[in-house]
Amino acid sequence: MDPALKLENQLCFRLYTASRLITQAYHPLLSGIGLTYPQYLVMMVLWENDGQKVNDIAKRLYLETNTVTPLLKRMEAEGFVKRSRGAEDGRQVIVSLTPKGRKLEQEAGCVPYKMGGAVACRSITQETAPGLFATLDDLIGHLSKI
């Protein structure tokens, strides 16, 4: 058998498994505040900079707008965000936090700390995490150009 075809030799499998398990670890923390993991990502983007175009949110999350739009519609129905047409260009949709969405930031404040504790292991510590982030950012940047 070609060693390149062995599961144990696949970076993609390790990344997929780690991503799936991290998302699972987020679930109880986020369900307690009424968010799914994709909604949490959108909220973090808006907490950093409220009032963004749908296209900009999608780009920031490395997603297509046709993936983000239904997510935003559900978030609007749940009262976390509101969507409105751009003043300068009516074709653009601007997404803004509602008071409920702003309040959620305080409730979510403990999530990164709890997840930090959950992912801390022998090779991922406060000291090594920045290097891991840089490696993953490099990989994401490279793959996003393909």
CATH number at 97 reads 1.10.10.10
Report pLDDT for 86: 77
Report pLDDT for 117: 85
Q: In total, how many domains does the chain have?
A: 1
Task: Calculate what percentage of the chain has a pLDDT beyond 90.
Answer: 85
Q: pLDDT for 1-16, tens place per residue? A: 999 999 999 999 999 9
Q: pLDDT for 64-109, tens place per residue? A: 999 999 999 999 999 999 999 977 777 899 999 999 999 999 999 9
Full-model pTM:
0.91
Domain of residue 23, residue span: 3-143
Q: What is the DSSP string of 21-40?
A: HHHHHHHHHHHTTT--HHHH
Q: Which of 130, 92, 84, 108 has its CA nearest to residue 32?
A: 108
Report pLDDT for 89: 74
Give the count of beta carbons closer than 10 Å to the beta carbon of residue 81: 24
